[in-house]
Amino acid sequence: MTDWVPVGARLRCGHHTLDLSRPCVMGILNVTPDSFSDGGRHDRLDDARRHAERLLRDGAAIIDVGGESTRPGAEAVPLDVERDRVLPVVDMLVREFDALVSVDTSTPELIGEIAEAGAGLINDVRSLTRPGALEAAAATELPVCLMHMLGEPRTMQQAPSYERPVEIAVADFLRERVAACEAAGIARDRLLLDPGFGFAKTLGHNLQLLNRLQSLASLGLPLLVGMSRKSMIGQTLGRPVDERLPGGLALAVMAVERGARIVRVHDVAPTVDAIDMAWAVLQERPASGTEQS
C-alpha cells in the first residue's frame, strides 16, 4: 500500500473539508442524455434530486455532476447547453443537501459559474488545457482534479499508442500539467490527479496502468480513479454495462491498495462497503516481531 498522504490530510473544497487520510467514494450524477451507462436517467431536476439523495444516503462523500458526455466518440457540447444542464443541479445539491459537489467540466466560463453556485471541486478531463481554463480555475481558489487524456473524446480511442510504458507517459503528462497549474497560481496542495482509465487507452494500457498505479504516487498528490462500468471490465469479463459491478468492485479495491484516495463510481453503497473492508485489512499492521494466530 502507498502511504503518500499524511495522517489527517485534508483538502479544502469551498466551505467543505474533505478528509483524505482514508479513501472515499465519489458518486456519479450525469445530467446528460448520452452518457455511456446512465444517459438520460437523471437529466431532469427531480430525477437528479432523487438520485443525489440516494448517493448521499449510500455514503458518497462527493457528488460529481457532469453535463457533457466524455464517452469515446462523444461530441463537444455548446456552453449554453452545458450551463443549463449543470447549474440548476449544482444549486439544488448545495441548497437542499449541503453536498460537496464536484463538476466534471472543461469550460472556462462554466468553471467560474459553478464556483459561484457553491461547487467545491473542479474535475476536468482535459486538465485545464482549453484556452482560459487555467486562469478561470485559479480565480475560483477551488481544488482541481487533472486527468490524463490524449486528444478529445471524439477521437481518443482511435488506435491510442505510447512509445513508453503507459504509466510513465501518464506520469510525465500529469507532471507537466501540475507545473502549468502552479505557474498559473494554482497551489500544488489544491491539485488531485486522475490517470484517466478508458481515455485514450486500450484494454492492455488500462490493466497495466492499474497494476502499476503506485508509480504515480511518486508525484506526491492525491489520486482519483474512475473505472466504474467501463469497457475494460466488459472486455475482460464479457459483461454488458449492467453486469459489471463485481468487476468494478475488484478494481476499486485494487486501486485503493495501490494508493487511490477517491474512487468515482455509479454504485456507491457496495463500493463503500468494499473499500471500507479493504481499508480495515490494510490498516491492520502487526508490530514487528508480533506473532499472529
Please give the C-alpha separations between residue 70 and each of 148, 198, 246, 267, in angstroms, as whole numbers: 13, 10, 23, 19
Query: How many angstroms separate the most distant Cα atoms in the chain?
Result: 63
177, 230, 244, 261: which one is catalytic? 230
Collapsed DSSP state (helix, strand, coil) of residue 243:
helix
- 228 contacts 267 by C-beta, under 8 angstroms: yes
Contacts of 69 (CB under 8 A, 6+ apart): 30, 32, 34, 35, 36, 39, 77, 153
Told to judge if 264 belongs to the known catalytic residues of this protein, a careful annotator would answer yes
Task: Give the Cβ contact number of residue 179 at 10 Å.
Answer: 11
Told to judge if 230 belongs to the known catalytic residues of this protein, a careful annotator would answer yes
126, 177, 229, 264: which one is catalytic? 264
Q: What is the dihedral of CA 232, 234, 237, 240, to 10 degrees?
A: 160
Catalytic residues: 230, 264
